A and B are shown apart, each in its own frame.
Chain A
C-alpha cells in the first residue's frame, strides 16, 4: 500500500492463476519474497493478483513447483507506458513538439510597450528598436541586454534623458523620460550668496537680495556677495537671495605628455562564435574556426534561455573577437607642446560649468625631459562664483 506509487513507476503485472491449490501458490510466493497484492478469487480454482514486473521470472520458478497455470492478463506502470509511447510515435512526437514550441515561444519577444513618450519620440524609438532588431517575434537571447538597449537609445535619441528598459516575461517595457519636461520650481528658504572662491568680480546680475559688492571688487572665498536681509534697519525682511555674480578666477594646470605612445585600436574586423552553455559545458553552435587575428579583444555576452516563465540553467553565449591593432604615435617637440595645451584646455572645460568661459591662458613654463613634455599653464576664467548659503533663523 505504502509504495503504490513505486509500483506504478517500476511497473506491475496482473497474473491469473488457475489450478488446484492456488492458496499454496500464494503462500509459496510470500515465502519467496515476491510481493503480491490485490488478491481476488473469482471461482474455486481461479485467482488473480498483482506482482511487480521484476518478480515475473521468480514467479515462474515458483509456479513450476505448483499445480497452477499462469496467465498474464494485464500490465500497468511506467515501463509499459514507455513501450506503448514508443509504438505511438506520433503521440510522442507531439509531446516533444509541444515542449519545443513552448520553449521557443517563451524565448520570444511578444510585446513592446513604451510609456511616457510623446508620439514623435515614440516613433523614433520604434525605428531605433527596429534597427537594433527588436521587434515582435525576435528571440530574446539574440537581442541586446537591457543595459545595452538603454545605452544605445539614450545615445541615439537626443530627445530622451533617460529610458528604463525592463523585461517582464515576454514583454519589453520602456519607460521614457523626455528632456522637455518642465522643472518643478523649487521652494527655497532665505539665503545669502557667498563667493565660492577668490575672484575679481566682472559682472553682476542680482534677481533678489541686497548686493554688498560691486564690479572690480576683489573677493575672497566665503565672502558675502548678496545678502538675503533687505529693508531698513529695524524693518528687515529675510528673502532668498538669487542671482549670478561673474568673477574672474584663476586656474593652474600641469600636463605631462610623452612624445611617443602606443595605443590599441580596434580595426573594425570581428568574428563571432556562438555557444550553448549548460553549467560549465559549452557546446559550440556556430563558428568553429579559430580567430585569425593576431591581436584581439574578447567580448562575451551571456543570456539565459527561458521556459514558460523560468530561467533555465541553460545559456546562450555569444563570443565576439574584435581585431586590435597597435598604433604608434610620435610628436615633434612643437606638436607635443601644442597638443599638451589643447589637452589642458579641454580638461579644464570639462571641469567648468556651462556658463563659464576661458578668458585667457598663459604658459608659465614648459620643459622637455626624457621623452616627455611638461607644460604648466595658467588660465583666467570667467565664471559664476555665487553659491547659496542658507540663513539660519534666529541668528
Chain B
C-alpha cells in the first residue's frame, strides 16, 4: 500500500516538475537504432542470454528482448548494448 502510494507520488512530482522520469522513478531507458542496436540503461543484471533471447532484470519486473544473432557488445553494471536483429521488446510484470 505504502509502496504504491509512493509510486504515485513520484509520478505526480515528475509530471508537475518536469523532471526526467528515468532518473526520478528508476525506470530503464531504452534506445534503439532500427533493428540492429538496442541500448538499455538502468538494468539490474542479466538473467538469461542466448543468441535469440535476452532477459534483463529491472527494478520492477523484467525486460525480454527477442531476435536473432545476438551479441552483447558491452555490458556495464547499469548499461548494456546489444547487437543483432531485434524483433520484440517485451515488458514482463511480476
Contact = CB atoms under 8 A, between A and B. Distances in A.
B47 A23 contact: yes
Contact of A39 (B45, B47, B75, B77): B75
A26 interface: yes
B22 interface: no
A41 B74 contact: no
Interface in A18-43: 22-23, 26-27, 30-31, 35-42
Contacts of B75: 26, 30, 36-37, 39
B81 to A, nearest CB: 7
B68 to A, nearest CB: 12
Interface stretch (B5-13, B27-35, B48-56, B58-66): B48-56
A189 to B, nearest CB: 83
B40 to A, nearest CB: 13
A392 interface: no
Query: In this complex, which of A22, A38, A39, A47 has the most chain B Cβ atoms within 10 angstroms of its Cβ?
Result: A39
Contacts of A1: 73-74, 81
Interface string B69-84: 0111111110001000
B70 to A, nearest CB: 7
Interface residues of A, number: 18
A44 B45 CA distance: 19
B77 A31 contact: yes
Query: In this complex, which of A23, A35, A36, A42 has the most chain B Cβ atoms within 10 angstroms of its Cβ?
Result: A23
B21 interface: no
Interface of A: 1, 22-23, 26-27, 30-31, 35-42, 44, 47, 49
A44 B70 CA distance: 14
Chain B interface, DSSP helix/strand/loop, else mixed? strand
A47 B72 CA distance: 11
Contacts of A44: 50
Interface residues of B, number: 16
Contact of B71 (A23, A26, A27, A38): A38
A37 B45 contact: no
B50 A41 contact: yes
A23 B46 contact: yes
Contacts of A37: 72-75
Contacts of B73: 1, 37-38
B71 A39 contact: yes
5 contacts: A23-B47, A36-B74, A39-B49, A40-B71, A44-B50
Contacts of A38: 71-73
Contacts of A36: 72, 74-75
Given A23-B47, A27-B45, A37-B72, 4 more contacts: A1-B81, A39-B71, A41-B49, A49-B72
A35 B51 CA distance: 20
A26 B74 contact: no
B45 to A, nearest CB: 5
A37 B71 CA distance: 9
Contacts of A35: 74, 76
B71 A47 contact: no
Given A23-B46, A23-B48, A30 B81 contact: no
Nearest to A22: B49
A41 B46 CA distance: 13
Contact of A47 (B47, B49, B74, B77): B49
Given A27-B45, A30-B77, A39 B50 contact: no
A26 B49 CA distance: 10
B30 to A, nearest CB: 18
A112 to B, nearest CB: 60
Contacts of A27: 45-46
Which 8 A-B pairs rank lowest in CB-CB distance, beginning with the nearest?
A39-B72, A41-B50, A23-B46, A27-B45, A37-B74, A41-B51, A27-B46, A40-B71
B70 A41 contact: yes
A23 B77 contact: no
A17 to B, nearest CB: 12
A388 B73 CA distance: 91
Nearest to B50: A41
Contacts of B74: 1, 35-37
A74 B29 CA distance: 34
